[in-house]
């Protein structure tokens, strides 16, 4: 059993909404209160920005980072830059994790919260490892929301959620120890065309980009060029990396609560969205496949078969919809 006193929770991100990022009113206070309730005795670091209203919030340690601002990830066809908050997440996570002194650490977004402590049991419940693609000292528990097996109706690799990480401090720190991402340089020769990482294919997802940068410290040859860069050998590596270094589970399974924009009625949690995710049943199959051939799956295969039937129907409908859109454009 992992003791609460051996855990530091890094709550990272803004305290209040900014013009480009909506937040539930009082969500960071709710986040911090939930940590105190579900992990009494854990150390809490709030890693946010200079100028944020932190008065009255319950934390043990406060880190007021200089806001790095957003980073340019694409340009429209007329050359207008579009930016993302990747570097804000990197800085608040990285700098907070640098201060952790306990054996275990959690990276928790300031607009999410805890509903339990199941992640402690999950992190310690799967001891077997294989040698290939074994990067971390122990497994790190992550949320399955946006941890996709499919995106835009096609297979994807290394598409793992960045909301929640729990594991050995050295592992979580390594996964969030990357440098800030550079702005995408504008190519004057491609004026009149959209520019982004992965063009002209679908843009590489930010979750792919962050995980890829983290894993390249272990294997510099690992790469994903665009969203659907997923040949069979890379899919196999992606699955083995998931099985060997992480535990992937639904929010309620790991003890995570999501803010309202990821609530039950939002697109992320509709059936059509959830069918594209890697869930805990899927992960257990990967664990059995790559790490522990004797692991009992129980009813997981039956649930997976039912889910795959629905998934196949959904993907076929989406592919048909995309084909009709292309025909309409040509017409």
Model pLDDT for residues 165-217, shown as the tens digit of each residue: 999 999 999 999 999 999 999 999 988 999 999 999 999 999 999 999 999 99
Domains contained in the chain, CATH given: 4-297 (3.90.550)
User: CB atoms < 10 A from the CB of 269, how many?
Assistant: 17
User: CB within 8 A of 285, min separation 6: which ones?
Assistant: 297, 300, 301, 304
Length of the chain: 331
Q: Does the pLDDT value for residue 19 go beyond 80?
A: no
pLDDT at residue 153 in the model: 86
Q: What is the pLDDT of residue 315?
A: 82
241 — phi, psi (to 5°)? -65, -45
Tokens of 151: 């995106």
DSSP 21: B
pTM over 0.85: yes
Which residues make beta-bridge pairs with 113? 257
What is the per-residue pLDDT across 30-40, written as a single tens digit (0 to 9) for each?
999 999 999 99
| Predicted confidence band of residue 239 (pLDDT cuts 50, 70, 90) | very high
- Say how far apart CA 304 and CA 52 lie, in whole Å: 45
Higher pLDDT, 321 or 56: 56
pLDDT 10s digits, 85-131: 999 999 999 999 999 999 999 999 999 999 999 999 999 999 999 99
Over residues 59-86, the mean pLDDT reads 95
Instruction: Please report the pLDDT score of residue 321 as a whole number.
Output: 79
């Amino acid at each position: 059993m992992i003791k609460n006193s051996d855990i530091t929770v890094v709550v990272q991100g803004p305290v209040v909404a900014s013009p480009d990022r909506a937040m539930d009113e009082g969500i960071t206070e709710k986040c911090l209160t939930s940590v105190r309730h579900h992990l009494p005795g854990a150390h809490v670091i709030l890693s946010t920005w200079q100028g944020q209203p932190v008065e009255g919030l319950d934390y043990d340690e406060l880190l007021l980072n200089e806001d790095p601002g957003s980073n340019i990830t694409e340009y429209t066809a007329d050359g207008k830059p579009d930016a993302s908050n990747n570097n804000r997440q990197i800085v608040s996570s990285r700098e907070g994790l640098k201060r952790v002194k306990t054996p275990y650490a959690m990276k928790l977004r300031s607009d999410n919260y805890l509903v339990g402590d199941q992640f402690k049991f999950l992190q310690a419940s799967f001891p077997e490892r294989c040698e290939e693609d074994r990067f971390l000292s122990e497994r790190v528990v992550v949320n399955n929301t946006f941890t996709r097996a499919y995106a835009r109706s096609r297979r994807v690799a290394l598409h793992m959620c960045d909301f929640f990480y729990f594991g050995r401090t050295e592992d979580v720190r390594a996964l969030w120890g990357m440098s800030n991402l550079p702005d995408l340089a504008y190519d004057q020769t491609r004026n009149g065309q959209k520019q982004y990482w992965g063009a002209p294919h679908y843009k590489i997802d930010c979750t792919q980009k962050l995980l890829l940068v983290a894993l390249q410290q272990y294997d510099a040859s690992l790469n994903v060029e665009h969203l659907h860069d997923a040949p069979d050998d890379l899919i196999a590596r992606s699955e083995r990396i998931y099985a060997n270094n992480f535990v992937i589970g639904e929010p309620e399974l790991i003890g995570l609560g999501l803010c309202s924009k990821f609530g039950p009625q939002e697109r992320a949690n509709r059936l059509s969205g959830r069918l594209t995710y890697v869930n805990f049943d899927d992960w257990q199959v990967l664990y059995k496949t790559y790490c522990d051939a004797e692991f009992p799956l129980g009813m997981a295969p039956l649930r997976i078969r039912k889910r795959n039937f629905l998934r196949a129907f959904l993907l076929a409908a989406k592919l048909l919809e995309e084909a009709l859109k292309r025909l309409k454009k040509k017409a």
